[in-house]
Amino acid sequence: MDEEYKKLVSLMEQRVEVNKHKGLDIVIKKIPDSDVEGDLDPRVMNVTLDMLKAMASGPKMEFGSLAADNIGQLRAMMGWPNVDVTVTEIETDHKTIDGKDGPIPIRIYSPQKSGPMPAIVFFHGGGFIGGSVDSVENPCKCLAEKAGAVVVNVDYRLAPENPYPAGLTDCFDAVKWVYEHAAEINVNPEQIGVAGDSAGGNLSAVCSLMDRDLGTGMIKYQALLYPTVSMSGVATDDFEWNMEEYTVNHNHELIQGIIRALGSSTGLENIYLDGNTKVTDPYVSPLLADDLSGLPATLIIEAEYDYLRLEGEAYARKLIRSGVKTKMIRYNGVDHAFMDKIGLYPQAEDCMNEIAKGLKELLA
C-alpha cells in the first residue's frame, strides 16, 4: 500500500471534532490533508472531474427519468475498482444457503482468530437495483480484519427482476442463517450485527426493525452507511430536505450538482416496490416508523455532500429520542458511495475502522 495513503488514513484518526447540530452530537471527520472548509476532498474532486469527462463522451443518461429499460446502463455505472488493504490473511468462503424463497449466495470472510467471533452481516448498496458482492468484497475483508469478526457478504436479489420484498427477505434470511449456523462458521450467536451502504443501509435498518418486531432478538448492532431511510421524501416534524443545510464555500455549482444528483432520479421507488407496498411503509422508509425503541446499538455514517445526509441525521435523532444508543459520524469533503473507493479514499478505510470500533465498544 502506498505510504502517502497510509499516512492519510492515520491522519483521519487525529483530525476529528464533535459539533452539536439540532440536538445531535455529530463526530466530524475532517479532510486529512486540507484545512479548507466547505469544499471537496482533493481525491474526490479528481474522481468527480474524471467521471464528468467520461459521462460527457459516453452515451447520454437521463437520471431524472429512471425506468426499467435503462437498468443495465445504471448497473454498469455502479461500484468502483477498489483495493484489498488487509495486511493479514482473511479466509474467503463462497457458499449458497437456503432462503425462504430459494438459494442465496453469500461470501464469508474470516480472520485467523480462534474461538467464536462476532459477526457482521453486510448488505451492499446499489439502489435496490444494482451493486454487487464484488464491489464490497475489499471493504468487507477490511472490516473482518479490523473488527476481528466474521463478515458475511450477502448476494440478495435485485429489482426489477425481483421487487420488494425479495431482497429484504434474502437479507433477513441471511441473518437468520448466521444465527442458526453460528457454530459452523465460528461465530458467537449473541454477537451478530448488520451493516450496509446506501440501499444496504436501508436493508440493515429494516432487518433490525423486523428482528425487533418478530421478537427474534438476533441483531445486537447496526452500522448504517449513508442509508436511505425516507424513500418517501415525506417531511416530518424533524425532517425536511433543504440545500441550506449544506456548507459549500467553494466549487458551488459542482458540489450542489453532486448533492442534487442522487435526489433528482424519479421512479426508483416504483421499480423497487412494484406496487407491493406503499413507499411510506416503515419497512421501506424506517424514518416513518411510529416506534424505534428496542432497536440495537446504532452507528450512522454520513458523507458531507450526500443528498441522503439529512434523513440520516433525522433518523439518528429519532433513535436517540427512542432510547437507542446511537452515534453519528460525518465525513467532510466526500460524497455518496465513498466507501466503494477503499484504497483510494482514506475515509473509506477509516469508515471500516469506525464500524469495527463500534462493535468492539459494544462487546467490551
Catalytic center residues: 198, 306, 336
The whole-angstrom separation of Cα 302 and Cα 227 is: 8
**Residues listed for the chain:** 364
Helix axes 166-180 and 199-214, enclosed angle (nearest 10): 60
Residues 6+ apart with CB under 8 A from 210: 168, 172, 283
Residue type, 331: Y
The CA–CA distances, whole Å, from 163 to 270, 276, 310 equal 9, 8, 26
Angle, vertex CA 130, rays to CA 333 and CA 171, nearest 5: 100
Burial classification of residue 363, based on how many CB atoms lie within 10 Å of its CB (0-12 exposed, 13-18 middle, 19 or more buried) = middle
Q: What are the E-state strand segments in 167-314?
A: 187-197, 219-225, 297-305
For residues 241 and 263, is the Cβ–Cβ distance under 8 A?
A: yes
Burial classification of residue 54, based on how many CB atoms lie within 10 Å of its CB (0-12 exposed, 13-18 middle, 19 or more buried) = exposed
